[in-house]
Structure 1
């Protein structure tokens, strides 16, 4: 493993051990969403980034943003990060921490819709979606 890969994995591990209150809340709540044939993971290294929550099979990333993400420089970095992840075939859903705290059912409905198309859709086994270019997932060393 390269030094960069090792650094990203160590960063993800450190983030998992230092989760914020809203991240802990969402992590517990994600267990209530049926994800047949898969699951959510937290603090996952994907390419040059570490994503907050990921369902790899659905290629769905859920990001929680604190107040510092409203800063213009951070918002620009977030946008670049989202574009890169989307170019790799991921879908990115972002929520503000306050949104999660004030409206957990709405957040979970949005995540469910991200997995299955709408909050009213039946939860079914998730097919493995292809990446746009057919390359292996960057989270698996590709």
Structure 2
């Protein structure tokens, strides 16, 4: 439960860049793209995630510039990639200075990915299979 409690606390104190991006991502709901913020998953807390499109958006500050943090980020991204997630990373400066470009990139990448429903759909029947007699 510690991860869930931590995620709840982080939702209450988003960084300025996260708060700015959150406002913009919420507007994408009109296009059917629903994001969660500070979502716990596999022991990690994701800044933003669109579950239906298996897309994670991370906003990285200066703390992500150190080698140890970058290594941890790579491990985390690999773990989540094995489950089909794609992680997009943006710097705080990108969100601050080019928010429209960041949102457009997120939108384009989301819409280019299949939905979870289509990933679970049954494959089409082969010739002779599934015929009604």
Q: In which range does the TM-score fall when normalised by the shorter chain?
A: 0.7 to 0.9
1:45 equivalenced with 2:40 (yes/no): yes
Counterpart-to-counterpart distance in 1, 2:51 and 2:76: 17
Q: State which of 46, 53, 57 in structure 2 corresponds to 1:58.
A: 53
Provide the TM-score with structure 2 as the length reference: 0.82
Q: Is the 8 A contact 1:57 1:129 kept in 2?
A: no
Instruction: Give 1:128 deviation, angstroms.
Output: 2.3
Name the one with the larger helix percent: 2
Partner of 2:100: 105
Counterpart-to-counterpart distance in 1, 2:50 and 2:90: 16
**Backbone CA RMSD of aligned residues:** 2.0
Residues 8 and 21 (structure 1), Cα distance of their counterparts in 2 relative to 1, 3 Å cut: same
Unaligned runs of 5+ in 1: 1-5, 119-125, 132-142
Provide the TM-score with structure 1 as the length reference: 0.77
After TM superposition, the structure 1 = structure 2 runs for residues 77-96 of structure 1, keeping only pairs within 5 Å, are 77-96=72-91
Instruction: Give 1:85 deviation, angstroms.
Output: 0.8
